Amino acid sequence: MTEALLSVRDLRVAFATEGGTVRAVDGVSFELAAGEVLAIVGESGSGKSVTAQTILGLTRGPNARIEGSVRLGGTELLGADEEILRAVRGARVAMIFQDPMTSFNPVHRVGAQIVEAIRAHRPEVGRDEARRRAVELLDAVGIPAPERRVDSYPHELSGGMRQRAMIAMALSLEPEVLIADEPTTALDVTVQAQILRLLERLNRERGLATILITHDLGVVAEVADRVLVMHEGEIVERGSLDEVFYSPRDPYTRALLGAVVRLDSAPPLRAAREGEALLEVSDLVKHYPVRGGLLRREVDRVRAVDGVGFELRRGETLGLVGESGSGKSTLCRAVLGLIEPDAGSVRFEGREIAGLSRRAMRPLRRRMQMVFQDPYASLNPRRRVGQIVGEPLRLQGEAGGAERRRQVLELLDRVGLEAGHYDRFPHEFSGGQRQRIGIARALALRPKLIVADEPVSALDVSIRAQILELLGELQEDFGLTYLFVAHDIGVVRHVSDRIAVMHEGRIVEIGPADEVCERPRDAYTEELLAAVPVPDPRLARARRQNVRSG
Amino acid sequence: MAAFIARRLAGMVAVLFAVSVLTFLIFNVIPNSDPAQRMAGKNATPQLVANITEEWGFDESLPQQYLTMMGKILSGDVISYEGRENVDERIVEGIPPTFSLCFGAAAIWMFFGVLFGYLSAVRAGGPLDRALTIVAVAGISLPIFLIGEVLLVYLTYKTEILPSGGYVKLGESPLEWAEHLILPWVTLAIVYVGIYSRVLRSNMLDAMNEDYVRTARAKGLSERRVMSRHVMRNSLVPVVTLFGLDFGALLGGAIVVEAIFSLNGIGEYAYISLINTDLPPIMAITLFGAFFIVLFNTLVDIAYAYLDPRVKLGEAAR
């Protein structure tokens, strides 16, 4: 075995908080050899990001207690002076982060931020030369027209381009180690595939040793050589990619692998729904004007939804898949009567609702409810769970006093929460529990239709399966019809009878879930399916071979 | 950009019209404000009052009176009720003292506000931060007239270090100009130093938790550079907004400070006119002040688009 480039020994990081000491990382040891890709896998709160940031001393602070050893080559980094650390940061060990939007400073040009990194370590490099180098780097990571893009501001680039620029910045001083902290989590799946290919290429061509931090086992299977599984601050499993995926020893690893909803695994067979239509959408159009000039005339339009039609039968689940900007959210809002479409019709239970006034819409609202993506942002932090779940009942004048309390308690029980949760606040709950609260609120008025907008994408993978199961049970018990919106086609296939694929404001393909996933007719659907990372290293390798030889 | 400015100019005309109508109406509905009665004096005969009423046009309809007055203000012919002097000329005379006061005070408060805010944020929680917090809160809480009078008592009447007030033209003697303005500058700046340092401090503390600051550290920048280029730069945007609004409002007259130090500027003129319920100068000064407020609002928006490239002129910030 080659000598370790980076070695972490018995790393412990504890933070003093108001609630006591939190042991974020509890005795972690590992080595990184030159040229390898090491994946650190874990769910939120497992300590994987803290481990990575501590390597570069980014977690230092008055409330942090850090012990152990981090050696890079012959240099100890853990107790090192800021000066020594600064010489390592960016130059020998570079880092990229999850959200490329917030990780770039929005007020400086992308090129200037790269130039700044170069000149911080090599002040002798002139501005013009550093800028030339920035252009080369942007070119190397596959950004088109780099000599123009170097002068762009971060918000002028797409998410994928921003992450490429971030990688370019990380490469600017030819570091030995790249730490990538959830580098593709905020990206669309087709863009994620491109970024993973790029990281793989850099690793192959430049021998760049990489620590990849992620919660996504599919991503791991695509790029990693070795895997560490972290749980509650400790490493519970370590080994080569195949060892961890095909013969996991630790029960947590096994549970994690079992919880993944896989695109290629056959979902439970569902009886075909032949009932009457609950929702009929036809030729729906919603354009947003882009205004400019002295009189704010319309100069262009964003075709958010551009002629969409589909039917949703009672008791059915229609999965709506698409990447960001495809028009999914606009379509949902139009279906719920929250925005008025420019043209087309939305019929709910045979009644036209497009263009109805707010007053006329009100009695219909109780029959169609929404479950939101972010269980943190969609619950009012200053209200108690009982009030949140009971609010629809109160607003619609449904039930008051003791009766409302009884109904709310019943709902809480139904979604797997306890009576004792009635008087608690949202921040006291985990992400999965919060999503249960959101579901209970949506169910309060016994709706017919539930529009679920990315209901599990903010959740950890083990929680995800539980929530999907809950949604399935509730559908049976309450006779619900779901419009299930998600960017993850694997999750969608798992829960849907039929799938509609949206792209640039249109539905490019709609059909039975299996058919769309197994025999896609549209080129875009095919691209989307190919981009989904499979949490199966052998399959991933085979697919890559195909891509290379094909 | 040109379209934006054109739209703003049109908006300015609308604002000035609304402000002038409101001011005019208020002074015509408050009691005891019949200007003819007051101009005629205490023992005036009804005939005298009637003559004045006719001569000044107080018997015409309100819209007509409004139009006449606006015409006179804009053409420079408007005469005040008290003292019968030309209002526009008097305002022009007041510009040098008022502007000298505002520019000097603004320079002081921006310098110390930003300095104190920066030091507080960088040393947040430490003794320096606490000391500066006390200074800032004291500055914000103490009324301006109290600060002004206390400074006058100790630096003028008891020790005779500085002159008690009055305005000396910059062209006559720059040294005396500055000497006479030091106390007014400091008095006016103290409040704003307090506010600005607190605003900058909290903006900087928020910015320090941003992801891009972590990125800046991770690429090996020195702490000083992280602070100046990434934390400070982004935190100054709201401070600039605040500055534009405050400064624009003061150019229309810093009433309290000018009155305390008898600077004979626009603010003091406004103060005297208000006491005398003298409508023509009040109208003119209100328009003058509103003009600067709208102007600086526009400048702030332009500065915003320059400081934050995500903001496009004429669109709501995201």
The string of pLDDT tens digits covering residues B149-205 is: 899 888 888 888 888 888 888 888 889 999 999 999 999 999 999 999 999 999 999
Instruction: Output the furthest CA–CA distance in chain B (Å, rounded).
Output: 86
With a cut of 50, say whether residue B318 has pLDDT above it.
Answer: no
Chain A residue with the nearest C-alpha to that of B4: A294
Collect all residues with Cβ–Cβ distance below 8 Å to B147 and sequence separation of at least 6. Answer: B187, B190
Do A481 and A448 meet the contact criterion of CB atoms below 8 Å apart? yes
Q: How near does any CA of chain A get to the CA of B215, in Å?
A: 6
Interface contact B231, partner A, CB < 8 A: no
ipTM over 0.90: no
Chain A residue with the nearest C-alpha to that of B10: A294
**Tally of CB atoms within 10 A around B300:** 18
Interface contact A61, partner B, CB < 8 A: no
Neighbour-count burial of B239, counting CB atoms closer than 10 A to its CB (0-12 exposed, 13-18 middle, 19+ buried): buried
- The model's confidence at residue A39, banded by pLDDT at 50, 70 and 90, is very high
- The model's confidence at residue A273, banded by pLDDT at 50, 70 and 90, is low
Interface contact B10, partner A, CB < 8 A: no
Indicate the pairing of strand A506-512 with strand A226-231: unpaired
Neighbour-count burial of A13, counting CB atoms closer than 10 A to its CB (0-12 exposed, 13-18 middle, 19+ buried): buried
The pLDDT value recorded for residue A45 is 83
Distance CA B152, CA B163 (A): 9
A106 with B234: Cβ contact below 8 A: yes
Beta bridge partners of A94: A178
DSSP SS3 for B47: helix
Share of chain A above pLDDT 90, in %: 49
Query: Of the spans A15-19, A328-332, A488-492, B31-35, which averages the highest pLDDT?
Result: A328-332
Interface contact B217, partner A, CB < 8 A: yes
The pLDDT value recorded for residue A271 is 58
Would the CA dihedral through B196, B197, B198, B201 be positive or negative?
Answer: positive
B220 with A294: Cβ contact below 8 A: no
B218 with A90: Cβ contact below 8 A: yes
Residues on chain B touching A89 (C-beta within 8 angstroms): 217-220
Q: Number of A:B CB contacts under 8 A?
A: 80
Calculate the CA B313 to chain-centre distance: 25
Of residues B220, B229, B314, nearest to A121 (C-beta): B220
Residue B237: both structure tokens together = 């945007």
Side by side, the strands of the sheet bearing A93-96 are A93-96, A177-181, A209-214, A37-41, A226-231, A234-240
Distance CA A316, CA B139 (A): 66
Interface contact A58, partner B, CB < 8 A: yes
Residues on chain A touching B219 (C-beta within 8 angstroms): 89-90, 94, 116-117, 120, 169-170
SS3 labels along A46-91: CCHHHHHHHHCCCCCCCCEEEEEEEEECCEECCCCCHHHHHHHECC
Distance CA B212, CA B231 (A): 9
Chain A residue with the nearest C-alpha to that of B7: A294
Collect all residues with Cβ–Cβ distance below 8 Å to B11 and sequence separation of at least 6. Answer: B294
Neighbour-count burial of B205, counting CB atoms closer than 10 A to its CB (0-12 exposed, 13-18 middle, 19+ buried): middle
Distance CA A94, CA A121 (A): 12
A88 with B220: Cβ contact below 8 A: yes
Rg (C-alpha) for chain B, rounded Å, is: 24
Interface test with B, best of A86, A107, A155, A288 (most B CBs within 10 A): A107
Q: How near does any CA of chain B get to the CA of A119, in Å?
A: 9
The pLDDT value recorded for residue A548 is 61
Q: In sequence order, what DSSP letters do the residues of A345-401 get, joined into one string? A: EEEETTEE-TT--HHHHHHHHTTEEEE-S-TTTSS-TTS-HHHHHHHHHHHTT---H
A105 with B212: Cβ contact below 8 A: yes
Of residues A86, A95, A104, nearest to B212 (C-beta): A104
Chain A residue with the nearest C-alpha to that of B215: A103
Each residue's pLDDT tens digit, B88-125: 999 999 999 999 999 999 999 999 999 999 999 998 88
Of residues B210, B223, B230, nearest to A102 (C-beta): B210
Residues on chain A touching B212 (C-beta within 8 angstroms): 102-106
Of residues B210, B211, B309, nearest to A153 (C-beta): B309
A103 with B308: Cβ contact below 8 A: no
Residues on chain A touching B234 (C-beta within 8 angstroms): 105-107
- The model's confidence at residue A150, banded by pLDDT at 50, 70 and 90, is very high
The pLDDT value recorded for residue B198 is 94
Interface contact B317, partner A, CB < 8 A: no
Q: Across all residues in chain A, what is the average pLDDT?
A: 88
DSSP SS3 for A150: coil
Side by side, the strands of the sheet bearing A449-453 are A368-371, A449-453, A481-486, A317-321, A498-503, A506-512
Chain B residue with the nearest C-alpha to that of A105: B212
Residue A518: both structure tokens together = 């197994």
Residues on chain B touching A99 (C-beta within 8 angstroms): 211
Residue B96: both structure tokens together = 């040098």
Residues on chain B touching A121 (C-beta within 8 angstroms): 220
With a cut of 50, say whether residue A1 has pLDDT above it.
Answer: no
Interface contact B219, partner A, CB < 8 A: yes
Interface contact A91, partner B, CB < 8 A: yes
- The model's confidence at residue A211, banded by pLDDT at 50, 70 and 90, is very high
The pLDDT value recorded for residue B115 is 95
The pLDDT value recorded for residue B316 is 42
With a cut of 90, say whether residue A250 has pLDDT above it.
Answer: yes
Collect all residues with Cβ–Cβ distance below 8 Å to A199 and sequence separation of at least 6. Answer: A37, A167, A178, A180, A183, A210, A212, A223
The pLDDT value recorded for residue B188 is 93
With a cut of 90, say whether residue B32 has pLDDT above it.
Answer: no
Interface contact B13, partner A, CB < 8 A: no
Q: How many CA atoms lie within 13 A of A314 on its CB side?
A: 11
Interface test with B, best of A54, A105, A152 (most B CBs within 10 A): A105
Residue B137: both structure tokens together = 């809160």
Share of chain B above pLDDT 90, in %: 46
Residues A348-363: b if buried by 16+ CB within 10 A, e if exposed: bbeeebbebeeeeeee
Taking phi over 0 as left and psi of -120 to 50 as alpha, with beta for the rest, A313 belongs to beta
With a cut of 80, say whether residue B315 has pLDDT above it.
Answer: no
Distance CA B193, CA B109 (A): 5
With a cut of 60, say whether residue B147 has pLDDT above it.
Answer: yes
List the single range of A91-95, A290-294, B175-179 with lowest mean pLDDT.
A290-294
Report, as an integer, the average pLDDT of A88-100: 91
- The model's confidence at residue A480, banded by pLDDT at 50, 70 and 90, is very high
Interface test with A, best of B205, B214, B219 (most A CBs within 10 A): B219
Q: In sequence order, what DSSP letters do the residues of A452-476 get, joined into one string? A: EESTTTTS-HHHHHHHHHHHHHHHH
Interface contact A90, partner B, CB < 8 A: yes
Distance CA A120, CA A114 (A): 10
A89 with B220: Cβ contact below 8 A: yes
The pLDDT value recorded for residue A267 is 58
Distance CA A78, CA A54 (A): 8
